[in-house]
Amino acid sequence: MKMVSAAKLKKTEGITTRFVPYRTKLSEALSNYLGSIEGDINIPLAEHREVKKVALMAFSSSSGLCGVYNSSVCKLFKQVYDGYVAKVGVENVMVYLFGKKINDYAKKCDIKVKEQYAPLAESLSYDLAMEISDKMVKLFLDHEVDCVEVIFNHFKNSGVQIPTCEVVLPLKTVTPSDGTTLDYIVEPDKETFINDLIPKVIRTNFYSIMLDTLTAEHGARMTAMHIASDNAEQLSQELRIQYNKARQNVITNELIDIVGGAEALNG
C-alpha cells in the first residue's frame, strides 16, 4: 500500500506542480488588468455583501489508513459549520461533501447535507471542477448564497497536511502591490472581458483545491503506511526476542531437570 500510494502521490504531485503556475499566471493577469483600470467597474462575482446564506464544501477520502487526514478535516469542518450556524442559522447553511468519511461524520453529527459526491480519488477531473464551480457561481449570482467556503487538507509535503479553509466566492481581486501598471487592449469592452475571465479563474481555483487535497491524501496514506511498516518491523523484532528468551528458558529448565535426575540416580 505504501508503494501504491507513493506512485499515486508522484502522479498527482506532478499534475499539481504543472497546474499551479497556470493558476498563478491567470490570477496575476486578472490582478494586473484590474490594477490598470481607472475608475470603478462592476464585478458581480467579486461583490462582498452581508453573509446571510453560506455554501460549505468539504473534502475527505473514502477509506482510512491515512493517519489524521480525515479526522483533522472533519474537526475543522465541524468548527466552521458550527460558527456559521450560530451566525446565520442552520437553515441558511448548505453543505456539499466529497468522500465517505466526511459524509459518515456529518450523519453522526446530524448535519443535513445538500449534496454528496464521490471521493476525488474516484472522480477527479477538470470537468468535475468546472461543473462544481459553475454550480457555485450560479448560486452566488442568484443570491442563493453570499459566500462559498471550501474546507480541505493542503499538501505541504508527504509528511505534513494542513487543514485549510478557503473562501472562493466572492472572489478576492488583489491589485499589484509594486505599483506597476500595464496597458491592456481588450475587446469588446472591459466589463465583458473581466466577467468572462473571472469564471475561468474560479474554475482553476476549484480544480487546484481538488488537486491539492487529493495529493495530500496520497501523501498522508504513504506516510501512514511507512509508519505502520516501521512499527510492524519493530514489533516483529520484539516478538522474536521474546520468543528466543522463552525458548531459552524452556531449554534451561529441561537441562536442569535432566541434571537433577542424573544426580538423583547417582546418589
CB of 179 closer than 8 Å to CB of 85: no
CATH class of 2-225: alpha beta
Quote the pLDDT of residue 42. 75
Q: What is the dihedral of CA 137, 87, 98, 9, to 10 degrees?
A: 90
Grid-cell match 488588468, residue found: 33
Task: Compute the mean pLDDT over every residue in the chain, rounded to the nearest whole number.
Answer: 83
* Alpha carbons 91 and 89: distance in angstroms, whole number: 6
Q: What percent of the chain has pLDDT over 70?
A: 91
For 14-53, what is each residue's pLDDT tens digit? Answer: 888 888 888 888 887 777 777 667 666 777 888 888 999 9
Grid-cell match 461533501, residue found: 97
Flag whether the pTM goes above 0.85: no
**DSSP H helical segments within 37-125, as ranges?**
69-88, 100-108, 120-123
Q: How confident is the model at residue 177 (pLDDT cuts 50, 70, 90)?
A: low
Q: Which residues pair with 38 in a beta bridge?
A: none
Kindly list the distances between the CA atom of residue 117 and the CA atoms of 58, 95, 98, 184, in Å, as whole numbers in the listed order: 10, 11, 5, 41
Out of 81-85, 229-233, 242-246, the most confident range is: 81-85
